[in-house]
């Protein structure tokens, strides 16, 4: 009982020491402001007339999932840092009131990690879905399975999140409040590092799938120079069951989607890799530093919390650029037809655009 009381008093004193750190307050205020700005920009983007110019229902579901998950991360981190700023700034009479509830901290951290797992799952599902649609060479309507894609995305996200939670869970001190905004302690150092390795593996896996899909689609598009050349490479017995226009549409839809999210994926994976690597290094030197220095180092190196800000900026830029193609300083835009118009007319317009692009590329070569 005496040891528990002494430990609690030490935590309360450390919480007060942390509250007196001006540098830590500046870091928390900066990261909180970045997430609040990201949250506001996401709301503005959602209420604006700008739309994701992605036509295929499957890719549209995945793209919207990425945007919604990033929005939820921004919301989670905004609440997190607003409370943290309140915790270290409010003039409490009892220093122990500054301690984090382990349950609240665990929920906020796991929710953010689950959303990041969902984004990685979206990239993996996107790669699988696009490869299936292209390689099966089915028509547009047959390849449209948004409900199945959404179910698969939810299932993979759930599996990744459950594994993350069970890795994150052991060793957490539930009986006492926490000084730091991390569940890391002497008891769970091993599982904490295992969690970081696991999250890094998912990041690398998602990046690999996405980059392979993007470059494979670019390579595939170069092979398609028109209906005649495509049919020459297909066995005559399969020509009746294959619709070359649908193939070209699937390829262009894939490139359109990957071009929008490629900068976001690169920024996300870079931030995550730097954050996880720095967290591993900083966790090994924490015991030798004062509590305020520990938290300053942790918040500075863990830049994964600022990811929604960069994501929404890249989205706002990409949405305005992705549906335009510059050909000799001239811009052409694909007009998405209303559902009441015939799909054949839309395919004809796509054919004209794709063939014109292929002719230009052939001329340049």
Query: pLDDT tens digits for 237-276?
Result: 444 444 556 677 778 778 888 888 888 888 888 888 888 8
CB 275, CB 303: distance < 8 Å: yes
- State mean pLDDT over 35-64: 81
Q: Are residues 239 and 332 in the same domain?
A: no
- % the chain with pLDDT above 90: 10
Is the pLDDT confidence value at 51 over 50? yes
Same domain, 168 and 234: yes
Is there a contact between 309 and 35 (Cβ–Cβ < 8 Å)?
Answer: yes
272 contacts 204 by C-beta, under 8 angstroms: no
- Say what the pLDDT of residue 31 is: 92
In a shared domain, residues 354 and 303: no
Q: Which structural domain, as residue segments, surrounds residue 6?
A: 2-322
For residues 332 and 302, membership in a common domain is answered with no
- Look at 353 and 222; give whichever has higher pLDDT: 222
Q: Judge if 107 and 187 occupy the same domain.
A: yes
Does residue 17 sit in the same domain as residue 153? Answer: yes
Using CA atoms, how far apart are residues 149 and 126, in angstroms rounded to an integer? 9
List, for residues 172-228, the tens digit of each pLDDT value. Answer: 778 778 877 777 767 777 788 888 888 888 888 888 888 888 888 888 777 765 444
Give residue 341's pLDDT.
Answer: 45
pLDDT of amino acid 360: 47
Phi-psi label, residue 137: left if phi above 0, alpha if psi -120 to 50, beta otherwise = left
**Smallest Cα–Cα separation from 180: which of 47, 70, 36, 290?**
290
pLDDT over 90 (residue 168): no
| Same domain (yes/no): 318, 335 | no
Query: Which of these, 222, 13, 190, lies nearest to 99 by C-alpha position?
Result: 13
**258 lies in the same domain as 287:** yes
Pair 97, 232 in one domain: yes
pTM of full prediction above 0.75: yes
Mean pLDDT over the full length of the chain: 76
CATH of the domain at 114: 1.20.1070.10
Judge if 241 and 342 occupy the same domain: no
From first CA to last CA, the distance across the chain in angstroms is: 80
- Pair 298, 276: CB distance under 8 Å: no
Length of the chain: 365
The reply to whether 128 and 45 lie within a common domain is yes
Structure tokens at 270: 């870079």
């Amino acid at each position: 009982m005496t040891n528990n009381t002494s430990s609690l008093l030490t935590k309360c004193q450390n919480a007060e020491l942390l509250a007196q750190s001006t540098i830590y307050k500046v870091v928390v205020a900066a990261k909180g402001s970045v997430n609040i700005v990201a949250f506001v920009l996401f709301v503005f983007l959602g209420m604006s007339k700008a739309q994701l110019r992605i036509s295929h229902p499957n890719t549209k579901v995945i793209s919207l999932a990425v945007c919604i998950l990033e929005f939820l991360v921004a919301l989670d981190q905004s609440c997190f840092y607003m409370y943290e700023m309140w915790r270290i700034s409010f003039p409490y009479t009892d220093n122990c009131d500054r301690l984090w509830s382990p349950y609240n901290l665990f929920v906020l951290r796991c929710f953010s990690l689950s959303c990041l797992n969902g984004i990685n799952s979206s990239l993996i599902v996107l790669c699988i879905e696009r490869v299936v649609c292209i390689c099966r060479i089915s028509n547009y309507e047959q390849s449209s399975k948004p409900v199945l894609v959404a179910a698969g995305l939810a299932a993979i996200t759930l599996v990744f999140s459950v594994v993350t939670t069970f890795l994150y869970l052991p060793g957490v001190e539930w009986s006492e409040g926490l000084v730091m905004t991390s569940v890391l302690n002497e008891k769970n150092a091993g599982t904490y590092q295992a969690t970081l390795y696991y999250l890094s593996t998912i990041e690398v896996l998602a990046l690999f799938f996405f980059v392979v899909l993007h470059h494979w689609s670019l390579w595939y598009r170069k092979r398609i120079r028109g209906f005649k050349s495509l049919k020459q490479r297909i066995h005559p017995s399969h020509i009746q069951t294959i619709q070359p226009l649908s193939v070209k549409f699937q390829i262009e839809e894939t490139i359109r989607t990957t071009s929008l999210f490629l900068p976001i994926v690169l920024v996300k994976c870079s931030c995550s890799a730097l954050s996880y690597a720095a967290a591993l290094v900083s966790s090994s030197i924490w015991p030798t530093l004062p509590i305020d220095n520990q938290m300053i180092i942790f918040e500075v190196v863990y830049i994964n919390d600022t990811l929604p800000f960069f994501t929404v900026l890249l989205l706002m830029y990409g949405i305005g650029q992705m549906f335009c193609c510059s050909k000799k300083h001239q811009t052409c835009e694909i007009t998405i037809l209303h559902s009441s118009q015939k799909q054949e007319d839309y395919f004809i317009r796509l054919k004209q655009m794709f063939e014109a692009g292929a002719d230009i590329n052939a001329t340049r070569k």
